[in-house]
């Protein structure tokens, strides 16, 4: 209401036809443009915030009011990414039903650029992972470091997500930008059960990363994960 009064005042002062009047009208146009932009940004932000909080009722209401299901916040995150990262299954389903882009990438993120599937896998939200895969998520899609959903789940020890991804055809020997694999990441962090599952799925125990050619065995040894060291040695790893 205060903004509308301001606009009326500017327009009233600008009716004289002087240079100042044209400036007043130009200012009015700028204010209207900013109001329109803020209104759009608010709708997108409200939807994304509701999705992150798991408020499915608010999400459905905002979508019904015309909120852009694929709208992005200032760092390029979408509502689907936010809901997937936090494991809000019902919100994820609602967004997908409304046409959310399951493979959207936050192009303007400043730290980690990842898809909804990678975010869900990294945080161990297995049911969300299943739902995203059923909706056509790229199982071997990569983040800005070359990491995949399988690598994220393996690194953080989310064995059920690892199993789901492998069953769906994830590349067990895929490499990130440094040459790391899911097995190397799981071995480094000490996730014995994940290592067993990856090994059973055909993980290359001799894969090397980086200029120094570090392996799963090297990382497990360095970080003191003796059970993984023993398992890898029994598997025929080259020392």
**How does pLDDT run across 79-103, given as a tens digit for each residue?**
999 999 999 999 999 999 999 999 9
Closest among 84, 96, 95 to 56, alpha carbons compared = 95
Mean pLDDT over 32-57 rounds to 74
| Inside any domain, residue 203 | no
| Inside any domain, residue 31 | yes
Q: What is the pLDDT of residues 114-161, one digit of tens each?
A: 999 999 999 999 999 999 999 999 999 999 899 999 999 999 999 999
Residue 236 has pLDDT above 80, yes or no: no
| pLDDT classification of 110: cutoffs 50, 70, 90 | low
- Percent pLDDT > 90 in the chain is 71
Lowest mean pLDDT among 42-56, 96-110, 147-161, 208-222: 96-110
Residue 239 has pLDDT above 80, yes or no: no
Could you tell me if 207 and 182 are in contact, meaning their C-beta atoms sit under 8 angstroms apart?
A: no
Dist CA 52 CA 44 (whole Å): 12
What's the domain range around 73?
A: 2-171
What pLDDT shows up at residue 44? 83
The two tokens of residue 189 are: 């962090």
Closest among 232, 197, 195, 198 to 217, alpha carbons compared = 232
At CB < 8 A and 24+ separation, what contacts does 37-43 make? 40/71, 43/67, 43/68, 43/71
Q: 3-class DSSP state for residue 65?
A: coil
Higher pLDDT, 234 or 193: 193
Dist CA 7 CA 207 (whole Å): 66
| Inside any domain, residue 196 | no
Higher pLDDT, 232 or 8: 232
Mean pLDDT of the chain: 86
Residue 15 has pLDDT above 80, yes or no: no
Residue 27 has pLDDT above 70, yes or no: no
| Inside any domain, residue 154 | yes
Q: 3-class DSSP state for residue 95?
A: helix
Count of domains observed in the chain:
1
Q: What is the DSSP letter of 233?
A: H
- Percent pLDDT > 70 in the chain is 80
Tokens 């895969």, located at residue: 133
Dist CA 60 CA 100 (whole Å): 13
Report the CATH number that the domain containing residue 33 is assigned in CATH: 1.25.40.20
Dist CA 236 CA 204 (whole Å): 10
| Inside any domain, residue 65 | yes
The two tokens of residue 170 are: 């994830």
The two tokens of residue 7 are: 């606009």
User: pTM for the full model?
Assistant: 0.81
| Inside any domain, residue 37 | yes
Between CA 100 and CA 52, with CA 167 as vertex, the angle to 5 degrees is 30
| Inside any domain, residue 12 | yes
200 Cβ partners below 8 Å, 6+ apart? none
Between CA 198 and CA 205, with CA 208 as vertex, the angle to 5 degrees is 30
- Residue 185 CB neighbour total at 10 angstroms: 26
What pLDDT shows up at residue 36? 45
What pLDDT shows up at residue 111? 63
| Inside any domain, residue 163 | yes
What pLDDT shows up at residue 211? 81
């Amino acid at each position: 209401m205060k903004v509308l009064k301001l606009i009326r005042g500017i327009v009233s002062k600008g009716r004289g036809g002087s240079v100042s009047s044209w400036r007043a009208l130009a200012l009015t146009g700028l204010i209207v443009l900013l109001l329109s932009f803020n209104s759009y940004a608010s709708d997108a932000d409200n939807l994304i915030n509701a999705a992150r909080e798991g408020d499915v009722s608010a999400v459905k209401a905002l979508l019904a009011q015309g909120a852009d299901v694929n709208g992005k916040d200032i760092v390029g995150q979408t509502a689907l990414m936010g809901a997937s990262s936090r494991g809000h299954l019902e919100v994820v389903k609602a967004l997908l039903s409304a046409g959310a882009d399951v493979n959207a990438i936050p192009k303007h993120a400043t730290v980690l650029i990842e898809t909804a599937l990678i975010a869900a896998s990294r945080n161990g939200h297995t049911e969300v992972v299943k739902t995203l895969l059923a909706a056509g998520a790229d199982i071997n899609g990569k983040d800005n470091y070359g990491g995949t959903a399988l690598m994220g789940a393996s690194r953080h020890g989310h064995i059920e997500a690892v199993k789901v991804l492998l069953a769906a055809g994830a590349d067990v020997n895929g490499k990130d930008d440094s040459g790391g694999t899911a097995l190397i990441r799981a071995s480094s962090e000490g996730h014995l059960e994940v290592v067993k599952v990856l090994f059973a799925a055909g993980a290359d125990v001799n894969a090397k990363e980086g200029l120094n050619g570090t392996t799963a065995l090297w990382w497990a040894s360095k970080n003191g994960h003796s059970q993984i060291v023993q398992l890898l040695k029994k598997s025929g790893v080259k020392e």
